[in-house]
Amino acid sequence: MALILGLESSCDETAAALVTSDRRILAHTLAGQEAAHRPYGGVVPEIAARAHVEVMAPLVEAALAEAGVTLAEVDAIAATAGPGLIGGVMVGLVTGKALALASGKPLVAVNHLEGHGLSPRLSDPDLAFPYLLLLVSGGHCQLLLVEGVGRYRRLATTIDDAAGEAFDKTAKLLGLGFPGGPAVEKAAMAGDPHAVPLPRPLVGSGEPHFSFAGLKSDVARKAGKFPVADLAASFQQAVVDCLVDRTRIALRSVRPTALVVAGGVAANKAVRGALESLAAEHGLRFVAPPLWLCTDNAAMIAWAGAERFAAGLTDPLDVPARPRWPL
Ligand code: KG4
Ligand code: ZN
């Protein structure tokens, strides 16, 4: 049994967690920055980096205290090394390097996307490789066949916006504020998903990829002409239809053990529900992490660290922070 300390700071959440290789989450501490970014309607990289600096060390201390362990009892230190806002990534990675150097423990540089992608195996011990992963976050929208730790076959990606980005931009257009995804979901509850005719980019085409820019532009054209709740509900339904259609196409070419969804947009109940039905249609298991594990957190980084550590994959202390890092 290994004990891993995980650190996350690639966007606007600072977090630390202690997770064991037998899937026990001993501690998780997290500080969001929503209030700091809200006046700007989006994440401001400079503000984010400064906020990470202020809270990272206290969060690590609090996590160790919550778990009742010392750094000496930790087997490895996992930190997000990218992709993300470089100033923020550097804060977590440098903290991880310093702790690794001071304690003599190995460092595991984790790809944030791998953190999202392996997180369903933290919450579900029975999830076996290969699984089809729909990874939907603020920066990414991909379909991956997860064949093993570090073995990801990309089947589709977005040709313009990510799904979460589309939610965030639409929220801004509709005056629903920041962060956008949860705001659109909430507004959509009071709306009719079929009230506003909106496009489903690429649906019906053999093309495997995603596209959301045209959908967002059409919401912009129709904003003000329909009730906000109907626009939100119709937009959300269009995104769901796109995600389901593209996933259905991917399922033609692979034989996974399960259909899995992860990333911030996986917290959306309409998205989860539609994918669950799609999985049932194909006689596949459906796995989605609990909501708190879908949005950015350090437990998923610690878990990815545990999986990589078990596979003997540690990193040198001069491993770079990477703003871009495809899986
Ligand atoms: O994974 P995540 O926390 O950070 C990134 O790695 O990007 O994902 C954040 C994204 C944001 O775009 C946010 O609006 C979206 O996930 N999101 C949601 C919901 N909760 C978060 N989108 C739709 N419905 C939600 N309930
Ligand atoms: Zn993320």
Condensed to tens digits (0 to 9), the pLDDT of residues 214-234 reads 999 999 999 999 999 999 999
Binding site membership of 267 for ligand 1 (Cβ less than 6 Å): yes
Tell me the pLDDT of the chain averaged across its residues. 97
Sheet bearing 258-262, strands edge to edge: 151-156, 141-148, 131-136, 258-262, 285-287
Report the Cα–Cα distance between both ends of the chain, in Å, rounded. 27
Q: Is the pTM of this model over 0.90?
A: yes
CATH node for 3-116+294-310 = 3.30.420.40
Binding site membership of 180 for ligand 1 (Cβ less than 6 Å): yes
3-116+294-310 and 128-288: identical CATH topology: yes
Binding site membership of 115 for ligand 1 (Cβ less than 6 Å): no
- Ligand 2 center to residue 196 CA distance, Å? 30
Binding site membership of 264 for ligand 1 (Cβ less than 6 Å): yes
**Confidence class of residue 74 from pLDDT cuts 50, 70 and 90?**
very high
What is the model's pLDDT at position 184? Answer: 98
How, if at all, do strands 3-8 and 258-262 pair?
unpaired
What's the CATH fold of domain 128-288? Nucleotidyltransferase; domain 5 (3.30.420)
What is the model's pLDDT at position 178? Answer: 85
Is pLDDT of 315 > 90?
yes
Is pLDDT of 41 > 90?
no
Binding site residues, as ranges? 112, 116, 135-139, 168, 181, 185, 268, 296
Sheet bearing 13-20, strands edge to edge: 25-32, 13-20, 3-8, 76-82, 107-111
Condensed to tens digits (0 to 9), the pLDDT of residues 193-212 reads 999 999 999 999 989 999 99
Condensed to tens digits (0 to 9), the pLDDT of residues 111-164 reads 999 999 999 999 999 999 999 999 999 999 999 999 999 999 999 999 999 999
Is pLDDT of 11 > 90?
yes
Ligand 1 atom with the smallest distance to the CA of 84 is 6
Q: Give the closest residue (by CA) to ligand 1 atom 8.
A: 264
Domain boundaries in the chain? 3-116+294-310, 128-288
- Ligand 2 center to residue 79 CA distance, Å? 13
What is the model's pLDDT at position 179? Answer: 86
**Confidence class of residue 27 from pLDDT cuts 50, 70 and 90?**
very high
ipTM computed for the complex: 0.99
Residue from 37, 116, 118, 137 whose mutation best tests the ligand 1 pocket (most atoms within 8 A of CB): 137
